[in-house]
Amino acid sequence: MKARSLAMGLVTSAACVLAGIVGAGSASADVMPYIVGGSDADQEYSFMVSLQDGGNHFCGGSLIESDWVLTAAHCVEGTSASSVTARIGSNDRTQGGEEARATEILVHPDYDGQSAGADIALVKLASPVQAATVPIGSATEAGTKSRLIGWGQTCPTRGGCGAPVQLQQLDTQVVDAGECSGIDGSLELCTDNPGGNSGACYGDSGGPQIVEAGGKWELIGVTSRSGNGDSTCATGPSIYTSVPAYSSWISQHTSA
């Protein structure tokens, strides 16, 4: 598999990098988090995080502890923690919610930017926030209904439209790993593109894939990359890092 530097995983040669908004300072200027075919969020997600550099959103994340954010490794690898801030619990990526500075970034040691798996990282906040966290779920088998949320590009062609200010959501499901290429089915989730034209796009990177259980949301995935290598978004399933598969590593560093 080709290098996927800062990609939601479309290969570098396809120039489909899914992680932030152009001008994100020390973070890649080629990251643009969006969801195609979604709609404005119909509720507030207290755990939803906008990782920002100089006020510019560059990746999504999930608040799993009051002072820890889970995101994708490709979002923060090589980035100085001092340049990262987090806006937490607001559906508007430009205002509201709580803000916190990052003090530490932990990238999974197995992440190499090329191999499948390990596209996961932790961001330590300078101080705890009040927002409610999201617990790690366990249901990841094919057929599991799930939801994607993020500030993602709402058109499939790179640069064809700007990032929405309001958080977007899209209901989808986990599908058989064989539907995605370049995936490690024991560590990653293949996530459907409903209708063949909706799903994660340039930049939803690091954002959550969640499932509803007992009337509450649980976290099962972190946006990683495309599942078919097409430079046009949502033409095939997307690959998400399985959070349950990395729960032991997460707990080594947090109390999650």
Pair 92, 148 in one domain: no
Is 228 part of a structural domain of the chain?
A: yes
Catalytic residue among 205, 224, 238, 242: 205
Least confident span in 26-40, 66-80, 96-110, 138-152: 26-40
pLDDT of 21 above 50: no
- Six token digits for residue 135: 């617990």
Q: State the number of CA atoms in the 13 A half-sphere of 88 facing the CB.
A: 29
Same domain, 99 and 149: no
Residues 229 and 139 both lie in one domain = yes
155 and 107 in a common domain: no
* Active-site residue (options: 30, 57, 74, 146): 74
Output the pLDDT for position 197. Answer: 86
- Asked whether residue 105 falls in the same domain as residue 177, the answer is no
Residues 154 and 115 in one domain: no
Task: Please state, in angstroms and rounded to a whole number, the distance separating the CA atoms of residues 34 and 166.
Answer: 11
Segment 197-214 mean pLDDT: 89
User: Residue 121 is part of which domain span?
Assistant: 48-133+249-254
Residue 229 has which token pair? 């290598």
Amino acid of residue 160: G
Query: Active site includes 119?
Result: yes
Per-residue pLDDT averaged across 230-249, rounded?
A: 93
- Least confident interval from 91-105, 154-168, 230-244: 154-168
Domain assignment present for 30? no
Is 237 part of any domain? yes
- Average pLDDT of the chain is 85
Please give the tally of structural domains in the chain: 2
Q: What is the pLDDT of residues 131-160, one digit of tens each?
A: 999 999 999 999 999 999 998 777 777 777
28-39 confidence digits (pLDDT tens): 333 333 466 666
Q: Which of 100, 86, 114, 108 has its CA nearest to residue 182?
A: 114
100 lies in the same domain as 162: no
pLDDT at 203 over 90: no
For residue 7, pLDDT beyond 80 = no
Note whether 125 and 175 are same-domain residues.
no
Q: How far is CA 57 from CA 29, 60, 119, 254, in A?
A: 11, 8, 19, 25
Query: Considering the chain, what percentage of its residues have pLDDT values greater than 70?
Result: 84
Let me know if 205 is a catalytic residue: yes
Cβ atoms of 31 and 17 closer than 8 Å: yes
Q: Is residue 35 part of a domain?
A: no
CATH number of the domain that residue 97 is part of:
2.40.10.10
In a domain, 21, yes or no: no
Same domain, 125 and 151: no
The answer on 201 and 139 residing in a single domain is yes
184 and 238, same domain (yes or no): yes
Q: In this structure, is residue 69 part of a structural domain?
A: yes
For residue 206, is it within any domain? yes
53 shares its domain with 125: yes
Active site residue 74: yes
Mean pLDDT confidence for 94-101: 97
Name the band, by pLDDT with cuts 50, 70 and 90, for residue 124: very high
The 10 Å Cβ neighbour count of residue 109 is 9
Shortest CA distance to 167 belongs to which of 42, 17, 55, 75?
Answer: 42
Instruction: Name the catalytic one among 67, 119, 192, 204.
Output: 119
**152 falls within a domain:** yes
Q: What is the pLDDT of residue 24?
A: 30
